[in-house]
Amino acid sequence: MKIHESWKEVLAEEFEKPYFERLKEYVRQEYGTQVCYPPGRLIFEAFNQTPFEEVKVVILGQDPYHGPGQAHGLSFSVPPGVAFPPSLRNIFKELKDDVGKEVPMSGDLTEWARQGVLLLNATLSVRAGQAGSHQNQGWETFTDAVIHLLNQRKENLVFLLWGAYAQNKGKFIDPNRHLVLKAKHPSPLSANSGGWFGTKHFSKTNEYLQQLGKPEIKW
């Protein structure tokens, strides 16, 4: 479980806390005895693709995908060649309506991450076929600490909070310091009831970055 040097420095205190030691042991045991996702080397992929100093946008997910070959450490993203999960399909539909971008061939969002979009799940691992199986073991405490650090140490970030879970997790983010955009979750059940399509989060993010003189995200 390697993590980018910039994050190692920022999170040094967190890594020393007793809960994180317990979490590490739990994850080691789970990966040693069960099939778990993402692969161990990709657990911190969101942090490795988006160093702390480069974060401009944060998209909060809940759990890694729990099907074979889907999770690769970035929220909502799947590796090339893997069918789009329903939420990702709706993200791409809204993206097309919002900024006119055609639906891509691949659901791999690594290019977003490399431009400063932190694709962060609340829980960074899961047992195969068992959604939420690694919840309440310490991951949420860790990712709360990440959001707190971003909120306190950086300014003018864009937080995209999709669905009640993400909105609750990000409720302490200072809206005077950052742009906080909220919408329904892009999963079909939620999105089709209104509150996801037409929210234009992608263009709103870029308008905000443009006002700050920062490069836009090439969604």
Supply the residues annotated as catalytic: 63
- Dist. CA 89–CA 85, nearest whole Å: 6
Beta strands in the chain (DSSP E): 36-37, 57-61, 117-121, 126-127, 158-162, 179-183
In the numeric block, which tokens belong to residue 91? Answer: 């993200």
CB atoms within 10 A of CB 87: 21
- Residue 183: count of CB within 10 angstroms of its CB: 21
Instruction: Record the tokens describing residue 35, joined without a space.
Output: 């099939």
Sheet holding 158-162, edge to edge: 117-121, 57-61, 158-162, 179-183
Identify residue 140 by its one-letter amino acid code.
E
